[in-house]
Structure formats: structure tokens, C-alpha cells
Chain A
Amino acid sequence: MTALKVFLSRALDLVRRRQRNERFSEEVQAHLELLTDEYVSRGMSISDARVAARRMFGGVDQAAAAYRDQRGLPVVDALMLDLRFALRLLARDRGFAVMALLVLGLGIGVNNMLFTILNAHTLRGLPIPRPDRVAYVSTFDHRNTDRGVSYPDFEDLRATAHTLSGMAAFPNAPVTVGDEGRAPDRFDGSYLTANALDVIGVQPVLGRTFVPDDDRPAAPLVALLGSGAWRARYGGTGGIVGRSILINGAPATVIGVVPDRSGFPSTADVWLPLSNMPGLGTGKRDARSLRVVGRVRDGMSITDARAEIESIVSRLAREYPETNKDIRARVVPINERYLGRLTDPAWLAFMTVGLLVVVISCANVANLMLDRAVHRAREIAIRASLGASRGRVVRQLLIEASVLAALGGLLGLGLATAGVRLFRTAIPENVLPYWFDYSVDGRVLAALVAVSVATVFVFGLVPAVSASKTDVNQVLKDGGTGSAGRHARRWTTVFLTAEFALTVVMLANLALGLRIARPTLPSDVAIDKADVLTASITLPPEKYRTPGQRAEFYRRLDERVRAIPMVSAVSVASALPLMGAAERRLDVAGRANADGEPAPAVWTVAIGPRYFETLGLSLTRGREFAEEDGTPAQAHAIVSERLARIHFGDRQPLGQRLGLSSPGAAGAGAEWVTVIGVAPALRHRPGPDPDAIVYTCIALGLSTIGLYAVTAHGVSRRTREIGLRMALGAQPHQVRRLVLRRAMAQLALGFVAGVVCTVGWDRMFSSGRAEVRMTDPPSLAIVAAVLIVVATLACLVPIRRATRVDPVAAIRHE
């Protein structure tokens, strides 16, 4: 208690330093005056009395020193002194400080931005109370394919499971919301059991959530709106609760509004009671479309719940063998199901990139610090000769590094925030699941601080230790550079080599991505996006029950849109180019798949007539679909050139028969279609991450700055030597070669190290894409070309400076 009081008092002194000092000198003054008064009253002369008083008081300086030690915290005092000194030095070396801060801020910023995204996708989890107590129930079959739960199975689970206090099912479906006399809007929707929002822990902002009566088969239709839908369609005004609207064309009453950021299960904006789900009443035990969550009852654990559900599901498998044979349950905490796995190659690559960027920028700053230390060798030697211990010198340099890291961290936080905002605006609203939260939370801040602190040791420690080894005598004797130069150069080479190696890996990765993407690039360009408008619609299944009704709708839509004078062509498709597609298994008539090998996967899109015409593309062979294609007698397909090349080779693709089946059931139940056309390769897979381009540019920029820094400092360190050579008759081209030789040797070293790393990276991450590899000569040639260009750019300024060295001034230069 007393110790704490003393500490607080001393800590307070740090702030009140001046007051404390004044108080002491005033007290001493008063004391001396009182003593003097006494001696005078004893009959001494004033001047004698003063001398006697001083003698009696003892050493004023010793007392002052003792007093200073007693007040404040001496360690902090010394640190503050170092800190002030560091700030002064950085302010003086503005060029160095700005470059180092930019590099560091960029590195920390990119790292923190990546961490923020990683945090949102893989660590934060659902914003619900006690997510660890919410179990996610799904099933899997003998192929280990993930399945949902059928409604009859769900009813059995709900009736017999005692470990879960509530169970809810939530299939997703787009929902059309309409009002009399107004065009309808399409929202993402979800069908929920009455207790679902209680299980998840969502409270309405207006009205109420579902009650069991809402979920009875003949109950009047009610709907819950999300705040997003409420604002978008109803202006966020009152009077929404109790209002009658049209849901998928049927009248429904709005009973409540739920808050923002609760679009459970993912992006939902409208919720309806489960009993309204189309097809639910058919009671098929093998229609496994429900996702199920439940809250674990108090006193039970998720393990208890898992055991119970597993036993119920295996009992169902025994009771209903024709539908449930080999169906087993999977019960996991809900976050485990929702969150990305950190061990996924994609996230591993993500983290590696984040780490690499920070390491690269640290290496750069370390290079800058090392070269600066060379210039400071004299200062450090003088400090050492005045009695500064090695530890003291290292501490001083580390404090300078810490100041840089702290400022760099702040800059990084700013850049990361801006970067995340950019990332966020690049993604359309309503596509991201509601629980992705990219705001800065404690974890993001902790990561920022940890990374910033770590950078001090990565970029600060080696230069500090290296500088502290300065040989005092030698430095003071030969006036400036000394042996620190040699240590520094060795470390510089190590850092820069590592930096270029990392850049090579990232460039090779990007080159690979570009080469994979290349075959589809011409077709991307061929679509003149400026003139193409898109819109998405969903037909309410209640209103359009049969394929015939749906086809009729699309025919009429086509007719009426085409009638608009400004429209030259119109078509429909199940997915837009580059927006993904449905995966199917492919069988080719007359060709057996190898035993045990799964049938190859293809991406399929359903399209209407004039699809390619509308996109401004023409087929390379055959014809487009006509109105009658797609009927059972006219099961036709158009394939891409790529598919034709891979599966038919030189044979005529038109007239070939293809079998398409869903991924789970290859062979059996395949739908056979005849090829009637061949289209240029359009891309329906998600492309390589465009962010990779940004990151590689950053890495490349950083290593360019690194090479620039090292070459520039190399030149200024050798100013004297260059001047001497020029005085002895060296020509500018010889000087140029002198500078370039080192830079290119460095580049070659980095490139070789990079290729070695790339081979390792390639082995680790890209086993799947055997057709193009990161270590192909074309990839490496691209990388080498890019590196040589930037290295030349990095050397331009230093070379100019070197060839303009004035021999006379240079020889005097210290």
C-alpha cells in the first residue's frame, strides 16, 4: 500500500518536475537564511555567517543529488532523456525519418488491414450471446458430402433431443416483397421456426419476433423485416408493424423489425415462419434442405448434445433405411461452422502475405538504419569514449527504433483503416454475411501493437547491436566510417537478399495468376460492358409452380424488354459472366471414366436464347439456343472452346453427347445433352484475387526503395573513394559500372534466393494446378524482367549523384 503510494507520488513528480525542483531550492534557500540569521544573532558578521551557514548545511549539491534521486523515477527520467534525444535526431534526419516511416507505415498498414479482414472472417464469429453454447446440426452421407436435415428428421430431432433448449431450422430463399400498386423488391430471406431468433439471441427493435402460433400450418402469414429492408422499401418510418404487405404475392402482416447487423443466417432481410416454406409439407425424409441450430441447455455441454444427436440420427438411419441409410450427424459449435479455418491454404497464403509485407518493410528500415549507423559511427564512438556502456548505446538506438515503430504503427493504423474501407466499398452491399465486421476491435489493436513492437526487434536490434560494436579507436582515427561499415554491409546484404527473395515469390505468384487468367482475358475484353445492363429477378415459386409457367414468364419478359426502343438485345441466364456457376459432373458419351476417378467437374450456366448475341460475342461453331431448346426433346448444350479442346480434341464437337449430374451422384441420373454450339471461353469461375496485384506492387515498391536506399547510401559512403578514382582519371562509365556492379550482384543473389523460395512455395501451395507452375521458365522470365527494370530505376539517382562527384570536395569529405 505504502509502496504504491510512493510510486504514485514519484510518478506524479515526473509531471511536476519543475515545481519539485523549485520547492527544493526554495527550501534550501530558507534554511540557509535561517541559519545565517542565527549566526548573525550570535554576533557574526553577515558574510562570515553566510559561510558558516553553508558549512553547517553541508554540500548543497550532494543534498540536491540525494533529493533528485528521491523524487521522480530515475529510470523514467533517463528514458525521457533518450526519447527527447531520439526525436531531435529524427527531426534532424528528416529524409531518413520520412522514408523509414513511409516504409514502416505501409508494411504495418497492409499487415493490419489483412489482419482486420482475417479477424472478421475467421476469428470474430457471430455477434450473438454465448456462441459457444449454440450447436450447429447438419448431416453427411457415405461420401462424406455435407448435407442438411430433412423436415421429418428435424421434427424427430426436435421432439427427442433433450440437450438442446431450442432448435431452429433456417433454409434460405430470395423473397419478393410487394405492396398494392408498387413494383416489388427482391430481398434475401430465410424461413425460421418460431424460436429461431430466441436461439440466436436477436431482439426486435420494433414489434415482436415469431411465436409458435405463427408457425402453424394454417396460420395467417406474418413476416419480420430487417432494418435494411425496412429502410430501403418503407423509408424506415413508423407504422410498419401491423401493416399488410405482399410476400411472394401473398398478403402478409409485418409483425416486427429486427436490428441492423442481424441478418441471420447470412444476408437475410426478410424472415417468414418455417411452415410457409414451399415443399415443406411433402414430408420427404431425403429432402435435406434445412440447416439446424440449437442452444445447449444449461448444465449440458456441446459434447453431450453431439452424443445425443448422433444417437438419434443413427436410430433414424435404422428406422428409415431407404432414406437415411449411412446418414450421420455432425454437431459443432456454430462459430466453427461459420468461420473460415485458419489452416485453409487461402488463409495461410493470406497470413504469409501479411507477414512477408511486414518483414520486407522491416528489412528496408533495417537497411536504412544500418546505413545511418555508418554515418553515425563517429557520434557513437564519442559516446562510447565518454563512458557510455554498450548496453546504453544499444538502448539509445532501440529507443530511436521504438519511436519510429510507434509512429509507423500509428501511420499503419490510418492506412489499414483506409484500406479496409476501400475493401469494404468494393464489395456490394448485401453480399457479405451480416456478421463480417471489419471494424477495429481489441484483437486488431493488439495485433497492431504486437506487430509494431516486433518490428522494433526485427529492424532495430541488428543495427543497434552492430553499431554498438563500433571500435572507438579506429573510428576516431580514420575519421568517420570505421569497422561498423563492415558489419553493416554484411547485414545489409542479408536483408536485401531476403527482401528480393520475398519479392520474387510474390511476383512469381502474380505471374502465375496472370498466366492462368490469360486465356479468358480476350473474352472479358470482348464484352463491351458499357452497353450491357443487368438485372436480377426471382420468380416466387408459389406463383410460378411449373417449368412451363416459368418459361412462359421469361418468354413474355423477353418480348416486353425487347419492345423497349433503346434495347437492341436481351437474354436471361442463371448467372452473370464472372459471377460463379453451378458445378456438375461431366460424362462424355462413348468414353468411360477411369475406375475410382471421379468424373471431371464442369461449371454450368443456364441461358436463354440470344445470350451470346446480347453479350456481343459470336459462337465459333454451331448455333445459339432457340426458343424450343431445353424442352425434353431438345436437350441441347453449348460448350466452351476450352471444354471442346480438352474433351473432344480434334473431333467435331457438334453432335457430341454429354452427361451432366450433380456433384453428389455421378453417373446415375445424369442428364444427357447434345452439343449444338461452341462458344469462346467465358469465365464462370471466380478469378485470381485482384488484391494480389496490389500486394505484389507494394512488395515490389518496397524492395525498390530498399535497393535504392542501399545503393544511394553505398554511393554516399564511397563518395571519397569515387572522388579519388575520378581524380586519378576514372571515366563516368567506369564509375557507373562500379555502382551498378554491386547493385546487380545484389539483385542476382536475391533472385537466386527467390527462385529457391518459390520452388518451396510452389510445392506447398499449388499442387493442384499442374498445367502452369510458378517455376516455369516463362513465369521466372517475367519476374526477372520486372526486377531488372525496377533495379535500374532504383540505381538511376545514386548513379547520377556518383558521376557528379566533385573530386576535390569528395576527398575533403569526411
Chain B
Amino acid sequence: MNLLQALLVALVAAVSRSEGDWLGECKLREPVVTGFLVGLILGDVKTGLIIGAELQLMWMGATGIGPTAQLDIGIGGTIGTAVAIMTGTGPETAILFGVPVAVIMQFLNTLLLSAYSGVMVAADHKIDALDFRGIRLLHYFCGICTTLAYFLPTFFVMYFGNTVIESIVAGMPEWVNLGLSGVAAILPCLGFALLLNIIMEKNLIPYFILGFIPAAYVGFDLTMIAIAGVAVAIAWIIFMLRQNEGAKVSAASSSDDEWED
């Protein structure tokens, strides 16, 4: 990997994190997108996309909800795909490198987010001084720090770590491989569990089962869209049926506030 390529890959890693901060979570972090970009940089778009698709499937449930940090799929996908293309290996290598990176960077991330609490004190002072420029700069400052915290390590690993990475890939014992694939298998469950925590209530359990069973027995392809369509239809019918008796619903259930955590 030459200097320019290493810089560009590091840029993709940094942007895949900063899009959540500065571009309104516009999903540049998804492995299909980072896989495409890394493929473009390293001159093999097709492989990049295919590896991206594999990682995407694995991280389908990787959600970032609230302050609960979990998996940094942006940088994990970027580095994973880059290493896989660089060493001429397949999605397994991408998983091998992507999963640990995603976990480690998320822990680093919690450190950053704790550190920024200190910035808030400074911001309070700027308000008292009516220093509008200062407030703006503090907001930007956090973003610049985060971007650098992702850009620099990625660059160094990509540019100077070539030989190390290649020897790791070549000398990886089978048991580490097995262990990491076990981790990679369970990790996606966490994202879905976090989503369940937001969505699920007791009276929604039948619908959950209604969605699970056909997909489990029939499997792939269009089931997701079909089931989503059926769900919209059911929700719409219930909405229409109950709309007029709305007052009654609220009177009956106002005591248990549904969204209160």
C-alpha cells in the first residue's frame, strides 16, 4: 500500500466515524459503502463490494442507539476490507481484522466521549462571556479530535503495518480463527437486542412471532420486504379502526406511560 492509498483509507475510516457526528448519521459507515470506497482506492471495486456485503450481513443488527456504545462498524469495515484486499484473501480475513477493530475502537470511543464532558465546562464559561465564536469552536474542536483519533491510527496501521499484517494473516493459528468466528456470530445479536429493548412491549409479542416464523421457515430474499409490507397493512388497519375510539384508549392506558424509561 503506497502513501496516498494509506492516507485515503485513513480518510475513509475517519469519515465513516464523523458522518454520525457531522453529517447527520447519513450511513457512510455501512460496510457496503466503506467496502466500495476502499475497493476504489485499492483498485478492486468488485472485491471491495463483495467483502462489504459479507460484513454488512454480519453487522445488520449493529445499531447505535442513545449513548450506549457498541460496535464501531465504520472503521471495522474499512480496515477489515482493506486488509482483505491487500493480502488477496477473502471475507474471512476481513472478519478476522474487522471484528477486533470494531470492538476496540468502540472502547476508545467511550474514552473520547467521557473526555468531552470537560469541554462542557468551558462552553458554560463561553456563554457567560457571550463568546459565540468560542462556542462554535468548542463544538468543532470535539469533532476534529474524533476525526484525528480515527484518521491517525488507521494511517499508521495501513502504512507501516503492511508486513506485520501479512505475517499475522499467514501465521494465524486455526483456533484464533474459530474463536473470532464465534464472536462474530454472536455480536450481531446485541444490536437486535438493543432494538428490541426500544420497541418491544408485552402486547407486541404476537407480532414479533408473526414476523419471525415465516422468515425462519421460508428464509431469504424478499421476505423482509413482504413482512414489512404486511406489518404496515396491519398497523394501518388497526390505526384506522381505533382512531375514532382514541379517547377511550388514552383513558384506559394513560396510567402506564408506554414510552417512559
Do A and B assemble together?
A: no
